[in-house]
């Protein structure tokens, strides 16, 4: 079977589940025995997500091969249970950069380089490369943003051109939103009709519409949408709010969605084995005991709203770890700056079963994090520090146990007399030569665990591989002193040069990791450190 391309575009507004719909359809096709891959197109001019503020854009997801991508790549990995590489992520910036580089090399042989077709051609070339690399029967391509925006128009043009190239190999799904305004009490189809008109204007007719809404779509509205949007009724899929995103595949399969997609490609319908997902959903529904986790960060307030998108994979990994322990995670987002302004608030940490500090950058809120870590260490509250959360744990330990009051990371204080965290040796040159974009230590690196460590017990093996995204690291000049004061070095690079995991003894769970374990946690194979952390937190409840 030659590659079949399924484009997923959004209508009406963002945040209605395009990524989840893409991932869920991919999962079902995989469960029907096909090879599937998924591509995310981000319409921003940024070359990667690494330079986008997570409050605005959400989490920066890191792939095994070190790309800084959109959080949807994480959704695909969690649903499809495959590693997705940098071939599967593109931005406007990345596409234009290639076109301009080609022009500079003279690859266009003196021709005027027109935006159309050159830019869409580059998009198509990238899609073809990803399809070939994955040897995929089905390639799902999610175009970021919503139809009608100026920014994604060239990607829609790529879709149109691919359809012209081979009409039988391309299908388009529109994920739309059907509001039920409380004052009217009726589900409205008009915004979806407008979204379809919008996409029609650029020469594309959707083959399927996924209708996201509070409640299921009823017959009169399905009929209306079909008539006004030119989509067969059987191609209109209802996606009412689910209790968890992990229920969406079953919701789609009940409607025979993937089979209808297969039939539209003139392929035969097939049964899907979704039993492990079904079991997971049942497990999620059955968990009763709550475990209360405080996540201390700073990337979640936007105006009057709290968004947890910046820490999406951490949140998912906490859920996976909790479900594996038969409990329900109750997560509270705690603002580290509050502990700087009101140190007396640290006492609230006692009400949590576990504290987690995820990755972060810069000085804002960092002293609050260090104070919270000190509180968790002293009061034996399970603590899990990730990346900045590990670095801050080392700083806290150095200040408290060795009396090095000015111990710090040189990210914040270059003049400290105790730079226990310092810039990695190659990073200064990278910054000087290449600037900030894509120059951190990125992607998967091996790590060797110490016998008898909490981490080793959790993983059950000595050699692991985890994904990184940082510029600073543990300063080995201070290793001996810190170890003498009781810090446990539980994981290092295979050459023993880089410290990757620290722990403290005589504590229910105090683990700081330089890498980001959350990127490798999957619902069906929860990450061992998250499982161990929640287990410790659960014991605190009991």
469 binds ligand GLN (CB under 6 A): yes
In Å, how far are 19, 44, 227, 462, 534 from 57, measured between CA atoms?
14, 10, 36, 36, 28
| Segment contacting ligand GLN by CB under 6 A, of 33-41, 162-170, 333-341, 353-361 | 353-361
470 binds ligand GLN (CB under 6 A): yes
Least distance to ligand GLN, CB of residue 363, Å: 10
Which is catalytic among the residues 211, 229, 327, 387? 387
Buried b or exposed e, range 259-284, using 16+ CB within 10 angstroms: bbbbebbebeeeebebeebeebbeeb
Helices (H) and strands (E) in the chain, counts: 19, 23
Annotation says 518 is catalytic: yes
> Which of these, 499, 488, 483, lies nearest to 447 by C-alpha position?
499
- Long-range CB contact pairs, 160-165, < 8 A, 24+: 160/202, 160/203, 160/204, 161/117, 161/120, 161/121, 161/124, 162/5, 162/124, 162/127, 163/204, 165/124
**CB closer to ligand GLN out of 18 and 470:** 470
Subset of residues 400 to 459 that bind ligand GLN, contact rule: CB under 6 A: 411
Least distance to ligand GLN, CB of residue 371, Å: 18
34, 61, 208, 472: which one binds ligand GLN (CB under 6 A): 472
| Segment contacting ligand GLN by CB under 6 A, of 41-49, 73-81, 246-254, 463-471 | 463-471
Q: Contacts with ligand GLN: how many residues (CB under 6 A)?
A: 11
369 binds ligand GLN (CB under 6 A): no
Buried b or exposed e, range 385-403, using 16+ CB within 10 angstroms: bbbbbbbbbbbbbbbbbbe
**CB closer to ligand GLN out of 158 and 373:** 373
| Segment contacting ligand GLN by CB under 6 A, of 202-210, 384-392, 394-402, 500-508 | 384-392
> Which of these, 344, 368, 341, lies nearest to 355 by C-alpha position?
368
515 binds ligand GLN (CB under 6 A): no
- In angstroms, the CA 199 to CA 101 distance is 31
Least distance to ligand GLN, CB of residue 13, Å: 30
Measured between its terminal Cα atoms, the distance across the chain in Å is: 55
| Segment contacting ligand GLN by CB under 6 A, of 234-242, 273-281, 468-476, 532-540 | 468-476
**CB closer to ligand GLN out of 360 and 419:** 360
- In angstroms, the CA 252 to CA 239 distance is 8
| DSSP letters spanning 396-407 | HHHHHHH--TT-
187, 237, 387, 395: which one binds ligand GLN (CB under 6 A): 387
| Segment contacting ligand GLN by CB under 6 A, of 20-28, 349-357, 464-472, 525-533 | 464-472
73 contacts 175 by C-beta, under 8 angstroms: no
Least distance to ligand GLN, CB of residue 54, Å: 10
**CB closer to ligand GLN out of 278 and 410:** 410
- In angstroms, the CA 290 to CA 281 distance is 17
* Strand-pair category, 510-513 with 499-504: antiparallel
19, 120, 359, 374: which one binds ligand GLN (CB under 6 A): 359
* Strand-pair category, 419-423 with 4-10: unpaired
Buried b or exposed e, range 181-218, using 16+ CB within 10 angstroms: eeeeeebebeebbebbebbeeeebebbbbbbbbeeebe
Burial class (CB in 10 A: 0-12, 13-18, 19+), 82: middle
Buried b or exposed e, range 468-488, using 16+ CB within 10 angstroms: bbbbbbbbeebbeebeeeebb
Say how many CA atoms lie within 13 Å of 50 toward its Cβ.
Answer: 23
| Segment contacting ligand GLN by CB under 6 A, of 268-276, 333-341, 354-362, 529-537 | 354-362
144 binds ligand GLN (CB under 6 A): no
Least distance to ligand GLN, CB of residue 359, Å: 3
Least distance to ligand GLN, CB of residue 498, Å: 12
Provide the Cα torsion 104, 106, 107, 108; round to 10°: 100
DSSP 333: E
**CB closer to ligand GLN out of 4 and 468:** 468
**CB closer to ligand GLN out of 141 and 395:** 395
471 binds ligand GLN (CB under 6 A): yes
**CB closer to ligand GLN out of 79 and 472:** 472
321 binds ligand GLN (CB under 6 A): no
Q: What angle do CA 420, 426, 429 make, to 5 degrees?
A: 115
Least distance to ligand GLN, CB of residue 520, Å: 15
Least distance to ligand GLN, CB of residue 471, Å: 4
Which is catalytic among the residues 157, 473, 518, 527? 518
388 binds ligand GLN (CB under 6 A): yes
Least distance to ligand GLN, CB of residue 427, Å: 9
Q: Give all strands of the β-sheet with 383-386 in edge-to-edge order.
A: 328-335, 290-297, 354-357, 383-386, 510-513, 499-504, 487-492, 441-449, 463-470
509 binds ligand GLN (CB under 6 A): no
**CB closer to ligand GLN out of 30 and 470:** 470
360 binds ligand GLN (CB under 6 A): yes
| Segment contacting ligand GLN by CB under 6 A, of 232-240, 455-463, 467-475, 479-487 | 467-475
Which is catalytic among the residues 320, 422, 507, 516? 516
311 binds ligand GLN (CB under 6 A): no
- In angstroms, the CA 203 to CA 117 distance is 15
252, 323, 361, 519: which one binds ligand GLN (CB under 6 A): 361
Interacting residues toward ligand GLN by CB under 6 A: 359-361, 387-388, 391, 411, 469-472
Catalytic residues: 387, 516, 518
């Amino acid at each position: 079977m030659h590659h079949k391309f399924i484009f997923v575009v959004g209508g009406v507004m963002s945040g209605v589940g395009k990524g989840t719909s893409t991932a869920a359809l991919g999962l079902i096709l995989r469960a029907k025995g096909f090879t599937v891959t998924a591509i995310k197109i981000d319409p921003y001019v940024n070359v990667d997500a690494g330079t986008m503020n997570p409050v605005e854009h959400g989490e920066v997801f890191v792939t095994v091969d070190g790309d800084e991508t959109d959080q949807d790549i994480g959704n695909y990995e969690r649903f499809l249970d495959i590693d997705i590489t940098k071939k599967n992520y593109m931005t406007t910036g990345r596409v234009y950069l290639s076109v301009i580089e080609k022009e500079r090399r003279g690859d266009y042989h003196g021709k005027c380089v027109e935006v159309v077709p050159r830019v869409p051609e580059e998009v198509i070339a990238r899609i073809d490369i990803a399809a070939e690399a994955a040897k995929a029967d089905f390639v799902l391509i999610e175009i970021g943003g919503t139809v009608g925006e100026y920014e994604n128009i060239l990607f829609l043009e790529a879709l149109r051109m691919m359809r012209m190239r081979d009409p039988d190999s391309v299908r388009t799904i529109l994920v739309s939103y059907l509001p039920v305004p409380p004052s009217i009490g009726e589900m409205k189809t008009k915004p979806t009709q407008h979204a379809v008109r919008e996409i029609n204007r650029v020469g594309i007719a959707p083959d399927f519409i996924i209708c996201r809404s509070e409640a299921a779509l009823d017959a009169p509205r399905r009929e209306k949408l079909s008539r006004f949007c030119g989509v067969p009724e059987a191609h209109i899929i209802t996606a009412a709010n689910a209790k968890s995103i992990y229920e969406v595949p079953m919701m789609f399969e009940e409607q025979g969605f993937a089979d209808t997609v297969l039939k539209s490609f003139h392929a035969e319908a097939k049964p899907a084995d979704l039993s492990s997902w079904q079991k997971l959903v049942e497990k999620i529904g059955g968990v009763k005991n709550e475990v209360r986790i405080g996540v201390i960060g700073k990337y979640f307030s936007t105006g009057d709203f709290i968004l947890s998108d910046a820490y999406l994979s951490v949140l998912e990994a906490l859920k996976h770890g909790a479900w594996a322990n038969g409990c329900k995670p109750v997560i509270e987002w705690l603002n580290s700056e509050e502990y700087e302004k009101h140190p007396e608030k640290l006492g609230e940490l006692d009400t949590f079963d576990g504290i987690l500090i995820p990755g972060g950058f810069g000085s804002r809120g960092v002293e609050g994090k260090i104070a919270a870590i000190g509180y968790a260490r002293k009061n034996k509250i399970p603590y899990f520090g990730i990346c900045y959360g590990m670095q801050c744990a080392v700083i806290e330990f150095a200040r408290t146990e060795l009396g090095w009051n000015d111990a710090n990371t040189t990210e914040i204080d270059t003049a400290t007399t105790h730079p226990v965290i310092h810039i990695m040796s190659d990073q200064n040159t990278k910054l000087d030569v290449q600037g900030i974009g894509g120059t951190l230590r990125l992607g998967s690196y091996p790590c060797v665990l110490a016998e008898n460590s909490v981490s080793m017990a959790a993983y059950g093996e000595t050699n692991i591989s985890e994904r990184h995204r940082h510029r600073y690291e543990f300063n080995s000049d201070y290793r001996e002193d810190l170890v003498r004061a009781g810090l446990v070095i539980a994981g290092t690079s295979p050459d023993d040069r880089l410290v990757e995991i620290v722990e403290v003894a005589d504590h229910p769970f105090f683990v700081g990791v330089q890498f980001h374990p959350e990127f490798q946690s999957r619902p069906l194979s929860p990450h061992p450190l998250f499982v161990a952390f929640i287990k410790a937190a659960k014991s605190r409840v009991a």
